[in-house]
Amino acid sequence: MTAERKTLGVSTAGASKRAAGSFALTGARLDKLKERAREARRAPTPAQEALWTELSGSRVGGVKFLRQSIVGSVIVDFAAPSRWIAVLLSPEGANPEVDALQDKKLTDVGVRVLRFAEADVLEDIARVVKAISTEANKPFDKRAARRGAAQMFANDEGADG
């Protein structure tokens, strides 16, 4: 008999309509995201490759990271499902508005987001790994984070109406 494990996949049960809508994917959209993630795993950027060398094999505090993982409607560069952490790398010339939207989608459902510029990873990977390790080892109550996100949505909807 195996116990069901919870992972970084986000359930929209009990979340507000706005939260559910931001992560609702059609079959075609999900298939497209899976293919894009697969392609990104096959052809990583130099920064992704360097950071994966540091994160793979549970080297950072014993936390397992996945590469190019789909979390809701966002492909994240690295995800730690057990800690609800998503690490994203921004290439030079990235659109900050798109980055902010992706970060908000994730944080709204309780995922902790760490975003770094690819140049920072290549120039000072030790600092980046230390920041990831620090966040991975912080005490974190995902239930409280999700409750907080749900309350935030309720407050936002009350302000709109």
Element (H, E) at 69: strand 66-71
SS (H, E, C) 95-119: CHHHHHHHHHHHHCCCCEEEEEEHH
pTM of the model: 0.73
Closest of 87, 99, 7 to residue 55, by C-alpha: 87
Neighbours of 137 (CB within 10 A): 13
Q: What is the three-class DSSP state of 26?
A: coil
Q: Does the CA dihedral 48-53-57-58 come out positive or negative?
A: negative
Element (H, E) at 70: strand 66-71
Q: What is each CA distance from 64 to 26, 32, 117, 123, in whole angstroms? A: 29, 25, 22, 24
User: What are the boundaries of each domain within the chain?
Assistant: 23-160
Q: What is the pLDDT of residues 116-151, one digit of tens each?
A: 999 999 999 999 999 999 999 888 776 666 665 555
Q: What are phi and psi of 5, to 5 degrees?
A: -100, 140
The confidence score (pLDDT) of residue 43 equals: 93
> Which top CATH class is 23-160?
alpha beta
- 11 vs 77, residue with greater confidence: 77
In angstroms, how far is CA 99 from the centroid of its own chain?
12
